[in-house]
Structure 1
């Protein structure tokens, strides 16, 4: 679900973890496996085929090949929102008020969070954002994800939500005169929104996330990426800044990414960073190289990915009807 669906595909970027943590409620699930799907041995990777190199001024509108096998940000956020709404109704049946401040604004803010994450796949890529915030994450999309956290619930509320008693056993007796659903209201909500159950869908999402990570990591060591990083570094030296690559600029220990506002020095480096990226076409080169590696892993995993695409299409078709049924708060207590 939402809380598990963003992974730090750029594990080498330690400083980026500060703002990636703020995204942990709104992106793609990832269990980074070293073997193939369902325990099969990992397949030897195919050689990447050439992809035309674009010249973008931002990565916000670029779509990598594996994106076709994942829900759109809007679909993902809508599904998450509906799960919360079904949980609300179920909890209301036990006499509990749950997520009292939840609204459909959740969809908009979650989409904004995901888009910010994607726009920084190769580091910051928005000139206006760099001039305003440096390397800082936007506070608006990264705001409060869930209006109520599980640890703030009473023991009966937790049992209704999780389907587990305080000692961890599955609920077997009625709660407030009502039987607790299997896996609680949380489990019932997932089964309602994702008709085929979350397990098979999660396997497909995990596969796509693993392949994305695999392709990304292979692209990082590609000579073309190394070459464009060196050209970018030379451009930065011409502007008075010494960094080996864009990650080093982001990781500069002078930046306090948890502070309310960036320093003038951070903004100066960030704006130079963007200028040099555009001058040497770092964004387009990174995208083309990664797309090549993604096409290669798609070729290696076509049957599994087509199953994921079919499942995604079925889920997408269900969303409008589910929104008509559940897009409102339950009656007050």
Structure 2
């Protein structure tokens, strides 16, 4: 049984920044060279439409081709907030005071976290962050309250939230003389905000996730990325630091990324890291290469992705009306 999502700004922050740990530990493994004439992993397109190489100073704001099939950070954060609001209103109908500290501030803090997520797609990319925090992640959003986790709820609260009895069976006994909806208040909230997502629609979203992962992985082994990594490494040696690529700098065992603040050495390396990225245009090259692989993936799945875009548009259109209906706390008990 899948546990229902339970609101907490801190949990949302940790969920998103957990990606960064995966990024530094595995997803950006050392690139290996492949043939420039259509070689590489099985299924790699022999011909990819070229993408103009930008010269960004940060990866924030860069939109990869497959992003059009995904919610924007603002839409994603708004959808999450509304799911929690609908849960809250539903639970109130059964006599439970649920998510007492939930506010629309959740949207802004979640978008801010997504901004940091985006800024580190190819390693750190923002000078001000590097100068202040080195490779450390940002602090948890200020103003958060103690999280309300499902294990802290009473058994009756968990039953209504999940729609399941402690033994896992579906709730059939009314609560407060009301039947519990299928999937509990969590299920009702998901359907209210995201609609009754069909298996076909879910397969479409899974396809987008798979194509994004494959394009990213293939771009890591592209010779253009390997070449710009070598230029970056040479630049770093000129500043007195020896690393094969940006991942090696992040993974330097001298850094304690769980500590309260970075060391001076970490800040010095992180600052040099970004300076060399800008000098070599590592960010722009990485983006252009990944975009080429994504364009090829889009060309290979036109019908499926067109359907995904239709479902996404329908979800986006629901948000304003849902905000008008649910952007408020239920009446007090």
The interval holding the TM-score normalised by the smaller chain is 0.7 to 0.9
Question: Which secondary structure does the structure 1 equivalent of 2:214 belong to?
Answer: helix
Matches within 5 A, 1:1-333: 8=19, 11=22, 13-14=24-25, 44-46=43-45, 47-141=47-141, 147-197=147-197, 200-333=200-333
Closer/same/farther in 2, CA of residues 143 and 282 from structure 1, 3 Å limit: farther
Q: Distance in 1 between matches of 2:216 and 2:69?
A: 16
Structure 2 gaps, min length 5? 29-41
Q: After TM superposition, give the deviation of residue 178 of structure 1 in Å.
A: 1.8
Closer/same/farther in 2, CA of residues 252 and 222 from structure 1, 3 Å limit: same
Q: After TM superposition, give the deviation of residue 142 of structure 1 in Å.
A: 9.2
Bigger shift: 305-314 or 189-198? 189-198
Q: Could you tell me whether the CA contact under 8 Å between 2:20 and 2:117 is conserved in 1?
A: no
Q: Could you tell me whether the CA contact under 8 Å between 1:236 and 1:276 is conserved in 2?
A: yes
Q: Distance in 2 between matches of 1:198 and 1:89?
A: 25
Q: Could you tell me whether the CA contact under 8 Å between 1:100 and 1:147 is conserved in 2?
A: no
Equivalent residue number for residue 39 of structure 1: none
Q: After TM superposition, give the deviation of residue 327 of structure 1 in Å.
A: 0.1
Alignment TM-score, normalising by the size of structure 2:
0.87
Question: Which secondary structure does the structure 1 equivalent of 2:158 belong to?
Answer: helix
Closer/same/farther in 2, CA of residues 269 and 259 from structure 1, 3 Å limit: same
Q: Distance in 1 between matches of 2:275 and 2:184?
A: 52
Question: Which secondary structure does the structure 2 equivalent of 1:138 belong to?
Answer: coil
Q: Distance in 2 between matches of 1:215 and 1:195?
A: 29
Q: After TM superposition, give the deviation of residue 303 of structure 1 in Å.
A: 0.9
Q: Distance in 2 between matches of 1:327 and 1:200?
A: 30
Closer/same/farther in 2, CA of residues 138 and 202 from structure 1, 3 Å limit: farther
Q: Deviations over 1:77-127 (max 9, x none)?
A: 101100100000110011111111000011011111111101100000001
CA RMSD of superposed structures (Å): 2.5
Q: After TM superposition, give the deviation of residue 206 of structure 1 in Å.
A: 1.9
Closer/same/farther in 2, CA of residues 10 and 263 from structure 1, 3 Å limit: closer
Structure 1 gaps, min length 5? 18-42
Q: After TM superposition, give the deviation of residue 11 of structure 1 in Å.
A: 4.7
Closer/same/farther in 2, CA of residues 201 and 260 from structure 1, 3 Å limit: farther
Q: Could you tell me whether the CA contact under 8 Å between 2:27 and 2:217 is conserved in 1?
A: no
Q: After TM superposition, give the deviation of residue 175 of structure 1 in Å.
A: 2.1
Q: Could you tell me whether the CA contact under 8 Å between 2:20 and 2:120 is conserved in 1?
A: no
Q: After TM superposition, give the deviation of residue 5 of structure 1 in Å.
A: 8.3
Alignment TM-score, normalising by the size of structure 1:
0.87
Closer/same/farther in 2, CA of residues 230 and 146 from structure 1, 3 Å limit: farther
Closer/same/farther in 2, CA of residues 116 and 201 from structure 1, 3 Å limit: farther
Question: Which secondary structure does the structure 1 equivalent of 2:258 belong to?
Answer: coil
Q: Could you tell me whether the CA contact under 8 Å between 1:99 and 1:146 is conserved in 2?
A: no
| Equivalent residues, number | 308
Q: Could you tell me whether the CA contact under 8 Å between 1:191 and 1:198 is conserved in 2?
A: no
Q: After TM superposition, give the deviation of residue 8 of structure 1 in Å.
A: 4.2
Q: Distance in 2 between matches of 1:233 and 1:145?
A: 43
Q: Distance in 2 between matches of 1:204 and 1:112?
A: 27
Q: Distance in 2 between matches of 1:253 and 1:143?
A: 32
Q: Could you tell me whether the CA contact under 8 Å between 1:131 and 1:267 is conserved in 2?
A: yes
Q: Distance in 2 between matches of 1:221 and 1:278?
A: 21
